[in-house]
Structure 1
Amino acid sequence: MMEYVALDLETTGLEPSKDRIIEIGAVKVRNKEVVGEYGTLINPQMEIPDRITELTGISNDMVQGKPLIAQALGELLDFCEELPLLGHNLMFDYSFVKHQAVNAGMVFEKKGMDTLKLARALLPELPSRSLQNLRMHYEIPQKDAHRALEDARTTYLLYERLREEFEEKQPKLFVPNALIYKVKKQGPVTAAQKRYLQDLIKYHRIELNVEIDSLTKNEASREIDKILSTYGKIVR
């Protein structure tokens, strides 16, 4: 029995150690049929960059009142159970979830299949193997590009089309492989960092685009360094 979870995220940027998840979409598949879905917007506790809103349509107003990452992550891990993951450029999504899971003290070790890797191996003649170009190649309908649940559904349909066309001749390509991504836990912002940030903000009369309490120690250090390099130290 073939069973897996197709996963897709929308994020504030490309770096899992600096950027944050703003939407999760997951589709549970058993024997080629969808048996469950999980999708939610997430309040990243920071301003969503304009370029991300333009790309995804997800605005700051849309995420207000939505779950924080810790709650959504727990729900996602429960939804995924022990099943392998499917994704398009899967390590991107896996790295973001892994970072958040490690910071929250949760275990997230998975096997997975990647439709991008499959397409590169099986469809080398195509000029582009982006999810949307592959969707159009196979005439897979989709409502909203760059929205997590819709992209997860498209990834599942793409994978099944690739299986149908190529699995009999190249079965090894469709076997889930262990996803290897090492992450060190990042502790939360310290009380001293929090006080210093608050003093810098007050002194320079500026506003942060992120909630201080949501920062890790590393993120707080970067914010402090950014303020000091831009505005200078506090002069008494």
Structure 2
Amino acid sequence: MVHGITVQDLASRTYCVFDLEGTGIDFDRNHITQIGAVRLEAGKIVRTFRAYVRSPRPIPPSIEAMTGISNAMIQEAPAFPEAIRAFRAFCEGSVLATQAGYEYDMPMLERHCREYGVPGLEQPVLDTKAMFAWLYPECEAVISTDYLLDYYHLSREGAQRHDALGDCVLISRILTQLLAEYKERGIADFRLDNSLTVRRFAIPGMART
């Protein structure tokens, strides 16, 4: 359930679409292994960002297989404070945008910032999943990335799934479609004054470890 979120003047904003990969899907216990992002202006990707993050916890084999990120790849990567500092510089002056970010990416980032004693991100955050649910409250499906790509008939070409940067490319296509739909409907702002209930994501066969 999400509420109390307002982003004004959707059509005129610069967006930073970001995605995280981690050692698992439990944001309370798992650790970030990769941050990916793209800056989106007028529906076009103008810059990209990717940083691997050294995790204090090994990546389980099932996660290695899904993401393609191995323990060897992050062994010499920067720790979280250095990675988030670079990401903060990349996304400065933008509205952050995610897919399922209200339930995973933002809580994961906020927890890491608390634990490492570094400042959190202060920009407003849009979640494409919540944006779609607001437009289609009758939708009972789990509004996943693949669901939205299929719904809007969007291409998956040139983007690797479950790679943070690859997923950002796909999420940016979804966000661009959603922004166009909001504009067509005459909706200038995203406002969640009242509570919006959205079904959580689930990855079959993946334990919360």
Give the distance between the partners of 2:13 and 2:107, measured in 1 at CA: 24
The one of 9, 23, 28 equivalent to 1:12 is 23
SS at match of 1:48: coil
Give the distance between the partners of 2:94 and 2:30, measured in 1 at CA: 26
Q: How does 1:203-214 map to 2 (within 5 A)?
A: none
Offset of residue 170 of structure 1: 5.2
Q: Which residue of 1 aligns with 2:199?
A: none
Percent of paired sites with the same residue: 24
Q: How many residues align?
A: 177
Give the distance between the partners of 1:133 and 1:58, measured in 2 at CA: 24
Offset of residue 84 of structure 1: 1.6
The one of 17, 26, 33 equivalent to 1:22 is 33
1:131 equivalenced with 2:142 (yes/no): no
Aligned residue type for 1:161: Q
Offset of residue 136 of structure 1: 2.7
Offset of residue 64 of structure 1: 2.2
Higher relative contact order (CA 8 A, sep 6+): 2
Q: Which residue of 1 aligns with 2:177?
A: 161
Report the TM-score, using the length of structure 2 for normalisation: 0.75
Offset of residue 176 of structure 1: 7.3
Q: Which residue of 1 aligns with 2:111?
A: 99
Give the distance between the partners of 2:45 and 2:18, measured in 1 at CA: 13
Give the distance between the partners of 2:186 and 2:169, measured in 1 at CA: 24
Distance verdict in 2 for CA 1:159–1:68, change over 3 Å: same
Indicate conservation of the 8 Å contact 1:84/1:176, yes or no: no
Distance verdict in 2 for CA 1:149–1:50, change over 3 Å: same
The one of 44, 49, 57 equivalent to 2:68 is 57
1:42 equivalenced with 2:53 (yes/no): yes
- Could you give the per-residue CA deviations for residues 35-93 of structure 1, whole angstroms, max 9, x where no partner exists? 21111222213210122112212111222222221111110111111322101112211
Unaligned runs of 5+ in 2: 1-11, 194-209
Q: Which residue of 2 aligns with 1:109?
A: 122
Distance verdict in 2 for CA 1:127–1:58, change over 3 Å: same
Unaligned runs of 5+ in 1: 179-236
Q: How does 1:78-227 map to 2 (within 5 A)?
A: 78-91=89-102, 92-102=104-114, 103-123=116-136, 124-125=138-139, 127-137=141-151, 138-142=153-157, 143-169=159-185, 171=187, 174-175=189-190
Indicate conservation of the 8 Å contact 1:9/1:22, yes or no: yes
Distance verdict in 2 for CA 1:25–1:116, change over 3 Å: same
SS at match of 1:113: strand
- Give 1 or 2 for the bigger CA radius of gyration: 1
Indicate conservation of the 8 Å contact 1:44/1:68, yes or no: yes
SS at match of 1:167: helix
Indicate conservation of the 8 Å contact 2:99/2:145, yes or no: yes
Aligned residue type for 1:100: H
- Could you give the per-residue CA deviations for residues 148-184 of structure 1, whole angstroms, max 9, x where no partner exists? 0111111111011122233331515x53779xxxxxx
Give the distance between the partners of 1:12 and 1:105, measured in 2 at CA: 21
Tell me how large the CA RMSD over aligned residues is. Answer: 2.3
Q: Which residue of 2 aligns with 1:33?
A: 44
Offset of residue 128 of structure 1: 4.3
